[in-house]
Amino acid sequence: MNTSSPRSGPVRSLGTADAVAVGAAAMLGAGVFSVFAPAAEGAGAWLPVAILIAGVLAYCNAVSSARLAARHPESGGAYVYGRERLGDLWGHLAGWAFVVGKTASCAVMALTFAAYLLPGWERPLAAAAVIVLTVVGHRGVRRPPVAVWSLLAVVLATLAAVVAAMLLSGRLAAVAEVDGMGPWPGSFGVLGAAGMVFFAFSGYARVASLGGSVRDPRTTVQRAVTLSIGGVLLLYLVVGTGLLIVLGRERLITSGAPMTDAVLVAGFPWLVPVVAAGAAVACLGALLTLLSDVSRATAVMASRGHLPRPLALRRGRHAVALRAQVLVAAVVIALVLTLDLAAAVSFASFGILVHYTVTNASALRLGPDETRPPLLVPLGGLVGCVVLACSLPLPVVGAGTVVLALGSGLWWLAGRLPSRD
């Protein structure tokens, strides 16, 4: 993306197609390759309903984020929105939840990459991937439009190959013969599954924050949000439903690499390396960017005294917060060595849902002259985030609550220590 001098401001060089590609590429990462297995355990045959709920919630959150970004263009997302609209504590909790949720997301991406590339060696390979990408990220991360389009093309081609294999297998035509799906799983089963699937949509925030980079931002961002989330939702419905039918619930919920198992069951074993390569590109591309994002968010919170200030120190030609990078990488490695994929997905979703709870609450405070979205959008997003977060597995909700309490304690402690600004 081209930029001009500080005097003239950024060049608004992205059109609708570029903005849609940015949003779709951010969403089509590790989630589509990993979330359907743990989600199917709770939702069973109602997995498509869980996907639909997650997509609608993602749309509400994206609209709220876009309207807030227009009023608060500085970087920080809900960390800024919560502080400006609700108070310092809420901003801190939003930032803390972002760091926690996205750190767990990094673990999901690393584990998914390893599960597709080298089954049986997931943990050591995932840890090695985190180390390598942290070293690469030390030089700074940039994603020009051509890289976004290339990544999106690879992932879409991989998913198209999987869908084609499932269609050609003939199993999708025999829906009525598929057994083992189980009865109605209950509201918590479907909503908990929706909370997990929500993880696969979480990259939509990138398109919601493109206001300073697109032509005619008022219409382009809204159009890009609708098109990117709508397109990804349709793709997830096709892929998730196909996996459920082709593999059946019991095999799907025990699969570490559902796409690989699907092409094997469909009778196309030669597609296994293609699927593994596509999953690796999607996961590593997203992981490289997200490690940088989490480190940057950690450094920003540290610079404001909400985390230990040494984490804010930036060094080198690329002004990278090295200590924050090392700390984030160490935590991610600890997670991949201790959590399984389902637990990592659930914990990541919990943190992200809390983050967007603050976003929607902040959007409710927008005035009529501040392009406030229709009341149903932030209200639905707020209620949806709370409900889905509380519907996740009970151990995850309990652990997440403890982590949020720890974050609140850090905020309280920071307010009582003398400032060294």
Q: Mind spelling out the 3-state secondary structure of the chain?
A: CCECCCCCCECCCECHHHHHHHHHHHHCCHHHHHCHHHHHHHHHHHHHHHHHHHHHHHHHHHHHHHHHHHHCCCCCCHHHHHHHHCCHHHHHHHHHHHHHHHHHHHHHHHHHHHHHHCCCCHHHHHHHHHHHHHHHHCCCCCCCHHHHHHHHHHHHHHHHHHHHHHHHHCHHHHHHHCCCCCCCCCHHHHHHHHHHHHHHHHHHHHHHCCCCCECCHHHHHHHHHHHHHHHHHHHHHHHHHHHHHHHHHHHHHCCCCHHHHHHHHHCCHHHHHHHHHHHHHHHHHHHHHHHHHHHHHHHHHHHCCCCCHHHHCCECCCCECHHHHHHHHHHHHHHHHHCCHHHHHHHHHHHHHHHHHHHHHHHCCCCCCCCCCCCHHHHHHHHHHHHHHHHCCHHHHHHHHHHHHHHHHHHHHHCCCCCCC
Confidence band of 215 (pLDDT split at 50, 70, 90): low
How many whole angstroms separate alpha carbon 256 and alpha carbon 134? 25
pLDDT value at 7 more than 50? no
Q: Is 5 within the bounds of a domain?
A: no
Q: Determine the average pLDDT of the residues in 151-159.
A: 89
| Least confident piece of the model among 16-20, 240-244, 338-342 | 16-20
Q: For residue 334, what pLDDT is reported?
A: 95
How many whole angstroms separate alpha carbon 339 and alpha carbon 319? 32
pLDDT value at 9 more than 60? no
Q: For residue 214, what pLDDT is reported?
A: 56
| Least confident piece of the model among 18-22, 200-204, 277-281, 289-293 | 18-22
How many whole angstroms separate alpha carbon 386 and alpha carbon 123? 32
Q: Is 421 within the bounds of a domain?
A: no
Confidence band of 213 (pLDDT split at 50, 70, 90): low
Number of domains in the chain: 1
Q: Determine the average pLDDT of the residues in 292-301.
A: 84
pLDDT value at 6 more than 60? no
pLDDT value at 66 more than 50? yes
Confidence band of 144 (pLDDT split at 50, 70, 90): low
Q: Is 166 within the bounds of a domain?
A: yes
Q: For residue 421, what pLDDT is reported?
A: 46
Q: Determine the average pLDDT of the residues in 255-281.
A: 93
Q: For residue 182, what pLDDT is reported?
A: 56
Mean pLDDT of the chain: 83
**Residue pair 350/397 in contact by the 8 Å Cβ criterion:** yes
Q: Is 1 within the bounds of a domain?
A: no
The CATH number for 364's domain is 1.20.1740.10
Global pTM? 0.88
Q: For residue 56, what pLDDT is reported?
A: 95
Q: Is 10 within the bounds of a domain?
A: no
Percent share of the chain, pLDDT over 70:
84
Q: For residue 22, what pLDDT is reported?
A: 77
Q: Determine the average pLDDT of the residues in 347-375.
A: 90
Task: Give me the count of residues in the chain.
Answer: 421
**Residue pair 173/296 in contact by the 8 Å Cβ criterion:** no
Q: Is 73 within the bounds of a domain?
A: yes
Q: Determine the average pLDDT of the residues in 10-35.
A: 75
Q: 407 lies in which domain range?
A: 16-414
Q: Is 80 within the bounds of a domain?
A: yes
Highest mean pLDDT among 9-13, 165-169, 333-337: 333-337
Percent share of the chain, pLDDT over 90:
45
Q: 94-125 pLDDT, tens per residue? A: 989 999 999 999 999 999 999 999 998 999 99
Q: Determine the average pLDDT of the residues in 287-309.
A: 83
Q: 20-30 pLDDT, tens per residue? A: 777 777 788 88
Q: Determine the average pLDDT of the residues in 171-176.
A: 60
pLDDT value at 375 more than 60? yes
Q: Is 249 within the bounds of a domain?
A: yes
